[in-house]
Every structure is written in structure tokens, then in C-alpha cells.
Chain A
Amino acid sequence: MTGYLLEFSQALLALLLAPGLAGFVRWVKARLQNRRGAPIGQPYFELAKLFNKDVVISNNASWLFHVAPYIVFASVLAVTFLIPLIAAPLPFDNIGDLLVVVYLLLLGTFFLALAGLDPGTAFGGMGASREMTVAAIAEPTIALSIFSLALGAGSTNLSHIVIATLTKPGVALSPGHLLAFAALFIVSLAETGRLPVDNPSTHLELTMIHEAMILEYSGRYLALIEWASWLKLTIFFSLLANLFIPWGLALTLAPAALAIAVVTLILKLAILGVVVAVVETRIAKLRLFRVPELLGMSFVLALLAVTSSFLLK
């Protein structure tokens, strides 16, 4: 029973943290660019505002356009139940391993792309085709980089991977681990629409990917999609934080351990947020045709990670 309670509180925590994390990254970025920046709580206000607004929908849109935001949000929300956010052995471990996580994330992307195509606008189609180009190269990389950890742990179950790393701390410095981290970091930036691939803060027609797909959305649909994309950012960051540096995660259900786990999770997310903000301030967006090269790079890193953890076992 407490296990299920833990699952729900973990998902709730992720839901509540996600807009804050997005706001935090924006704020750090603004400070780095000598701007004052919106307060960290700004995304919460945005959500509240959007949920209160009416929805305007094109006459050409079909039922798919109405359903997609819910599917996108639900698939991302389902992932928060499956990944170890604050505690390691989860009661839902048997429901899904890393493959389920990867493909649930892809399911959301797929429906978002469909919804982008549905109203028949030029930008939506463009965004959808770009998003699928990125996703097609990014997904195998995510799977491969987590596989390299799974090879070390002997299980594709995310909790088992985390526990295996905790029991053998030396593994965290192995080349497979580091290469996989680098690969997953690059892919996280691509999948969450961060800077070298997509710029989250502009609506520049010629370069946008994520924004182009959701251009037709408004009101609560837009709120759901925005929330889902922030949640995705949180999920990727916590995968990076907890799979590679699992220390601080609660292994028991004692309240003290859980409190420590929550604090360390927030700390890790904040550190990764600062790193991403610094990266985004320092580099410019890649030309679209160079994006597959960057992702190809991360795929090779993941491949090498798998190779080295397979052969050096």
C-alpha cells in the first residue's frame, strides 16, 4: 500500500516540479544574459492562465487534434510512474522497463507530430517532419545508452540498474558509463527541444521544431502540451541524474530517507538546469542540416558505450 502511495506522490512531485524546473532554467539563462528574467514561478502562472482560456480550433481539425494533447500528457505522465525518481525498488517496476519508458516517450512525440499535421497548416507539417527526423535518430540513442547501463547491471529494469550502480560505485567511473552519459545528455537536449537543436524561447518560423507543431493549439490544450514538454525535461534530467549518479535515492520507505531523496533530486535537477542554461548561453543553434550530424555523434557515443560495457564486463 505504501508502495503505491509512493508511486503517486512521486508522479505528483514530478508534475509539480516540472514547471518550476523550466522556470528555473529560464531564470538562470536570463541572469547569464544580464537580464532580470521572469520569476521562477512564472510557468505556474502561465499554466493557470492557459487553463482558464477558451480553446480556439481550426475548422479543418479532426478529432485527432482534440485527443492528441491528452495522449501526449498521459504518456509522459505514465513515464513518471516507471522511473526511479526518489526511491529505487518501485511496485510498478514489473509493469515496464526501460523499453517501455523509451517508447512511451516516443508515443507522445508521435501523436504531437500527427496533431501538427492535422490542421493542414504549413508550419505544422514542417514542424512535424522535423520532429520526426530528430526523433528517429534520437530514440535508438536513448535506448542504446541506457542499454549500456543495463548490460552492466544485467537487467533492463531501471530500478535494478540504479541499485546495481549503488552496490558497485566503481562502475560510475567506467568509460561505458561516461560515454553513455554524454550520449544521453546530447539526446536529452534534442528530445526536449533545447538549444543546439531547437530554441525553446522563440517563435522564429524558419527554425522552430517543437513550437511549429503546437502553433495551432490554445487554451487548456496548449497548457497540457506545455506541461507535458516540461515534464519531459524533468524526466530526462532525472534519468540523467538518477541512472548515472544514483546517490541520495531512497532504498527504504523511511520518511527520513525519502526526505533526503527529494532534496537531492531537487538539487540534482537544479545543477543540471544550471548546466543546460550555461550550455544554451554559450552555443548558438545548429543549422537544421547539421542536427543529424550532432545526433549521429551521440549515437556513436552510445554505440561505443555499449561496446565497452559489453567487452569490458
Chain B
Amino acid sequence: MDNLFSQLSTLGSSLILLFGITLLWRKSLHAYTDAFQWQSAALTVVFVIIAYFGRDPELYVVAVFLFILKVLILPRYLERMGKRFGDQRESQPYVNVVTSLMLSGLLVLLAYVVTRPLVLVSDLPTRGGLPLAMGLIFVGLFVVVTRKKAMTQIVGFLVMENGIALLAALATFGIPLIVELGVFLDVLMGFLVMQVFVYHIHSTFESIDVDQMNELKH
């Protein structure tokens, strides 16, 4: 039973990481949104798996919230923003695609190294997924740092948040429901604030390329 649990949770975590890495390969905002949506769906499934095997009914509620927020609402908002700004391709990120793929591979290796002591002492059935979740956080941060468009940076932030949620779920089998709800509210608020910012950036600079933001003396 535990064996199946650990297998499934590791499998789910690697799928989630996989969607995070596909992000680096894609260029259009639509593809970014798509990858994020799939990743969130996979995250929901992992939550359900943990709820079932960890016998924690509260996690089902969390999974439902997660599904509504990250699979239904946020991607739709992202799509709407993308439509409004027209074609926003991440055509020239600071680090090119091949290099960022290689670097993300290295980041995941780093995550394995960092979490190794934790994995060694832990006897959780889900410990196999811990390095993957940590790797996803790194990859999300990497997207935020290396992409130029404000929109893609937002997706990077959301991916990083997914990584944190996954890490929390794998390491603790679900933090209290009230904390989880607070986190969701935070993500939603953060997203809305960033959305407002992006609109402002766009109306001031007529572009959401953050590279152009060094001319603040307008």
C-alpha cells in the first residue's frame, strides 16, 4: 500500500515538474498558460492521492479549491490578459531556450543535492517527490528571473507557488485547512495586484517587456 502511495506521489510530482520544464521550451503566452493549467491539474491529482492514502479528508477540500482557483480561474484571467495585449511572445528571454533547459536540469540536480539530507532522515512514503518539488520551486524562480515579459514572469511566479504547495503537501500531508485557504487568498491577491501592475506598465510603456523599464524618467 505504502509502496503504491510512494510510487504514485513520485510519479505525480515528476509530471508536475515536467510541465514546469516544458514552460521553458515554449514561447507564446498561450503555451505558458496551457502548461500552467496542466500542471495545476496534475497538482490537484497529487493532492487527491495524498488525501486518499494519508486519510486526510480536509485535503479533498483543498484539492477542490485548488482546482477552482488554479485550473479554472487563473488560466482564464491569464488568457484574457494575453488577448488584451495582443501577441506577446517570449521571443528573446535573457537566457536562450537550450541554455535555460540545461540550467533547469542542473537546478533539479541542485534540488536533489539540497534535499538529500532531508530525504535520508525522512521515512515518509512521499519522500521521493521532495527533491522534485524543490526543483520545481527553483525552475519557477528561474522563469521569473530570466523571462522578459511581465506576463510570463507572472506564470513563473505561479509555477513557483505550485512548487511550494507541492512541497508542503508532500512533506506534511496537508497543512491545516485555514492556512491553506489563506495561501490561496494570498495567491489570488498577489495575482490581482500583479495584474493591475501589468496594466499600468502596459499603459505607460506600451509594452510589457520589463527590459524597457529602466527608462523610469518618463
Q: Which residues of A contact B (CB under 8 A)?
A: 170, 173-175, 178-179, 182, 292-294, 296-297, 299-301, 303-304, 307-308, 311-312
Contact = CB atoms under 8 A, between A and B. Distances in A.
Contacts of A308: 14, 132
Interface of B: 3, 7-8, 10-11, 13-15, 17-18, 21-22, 25, 97-98, 101-102, 104-105, 108-109, 112, 116, 128, 131-132
Contacts of B104: 300
B28 to A, nearest CB: 13
A300 B128 CA distance: 19
Contact of B101 (A174, A297, A307, A311): A297
Given A296-B101, A311-B131, 8 more contacts: A173-B8, A175-B13, A178-B14, A294-B25, A299-B102, A300-B21, A300-B102, A308-B132
A209 B157 CA distance: 39
Leading 9 A-B pairs by shortest Cβ distance: A175-B14, A296-B98, A300-B105, A293-B97, A296-B101, A300-B101, A303-B105, A297-B25, A311-B112
A198 to B, nearest CB: 19
B102 A312 contact: no
Given A296-B98, A296-B101, A170 B3 contact: yes
B102 A296 contact: yes
Contacts of A303: 105, 109
B11 A175 contact: yes
A296 B98 CA distance: 6
Contact of B10 (A292, A294, A312): A312
16 contacts: A170-B3, A173-B11, A174-B7, A178-B11, A178-B14, A179-B14, A182-B18, A297-B21, A297-B22, A297-B25, A299-B101, A299-B105, A300-B104, A304-B17, A304-B21, A311-B131
Nearest to B116: A311
A170 B6 CA distance: 11
Main SS class of interface, A: helix
A311 B117 CA distance: 12
A312 B97 contact: no
Contacts of B22: 297
A175 B132 contact: yes
B21 A296 contact: no
Contacts of A307: 108-109, 112
Contacts of B11: 173-175, 178
Given A296-B102, A300-B102, A175 B112 contact: no
A179 B7 contact: no
A307 B132 CA distance: 11
Nearest to B103: A300
Among A170, A178, A296, residue most surrounded by chain B Cβ atoms (within 10 Å) = A296
Nearest to A170: B7
Contact of B105 (A178, A293, A294, A304): A304
A312 B101 CA distance: 22
B104 to A, nearest CB: 7
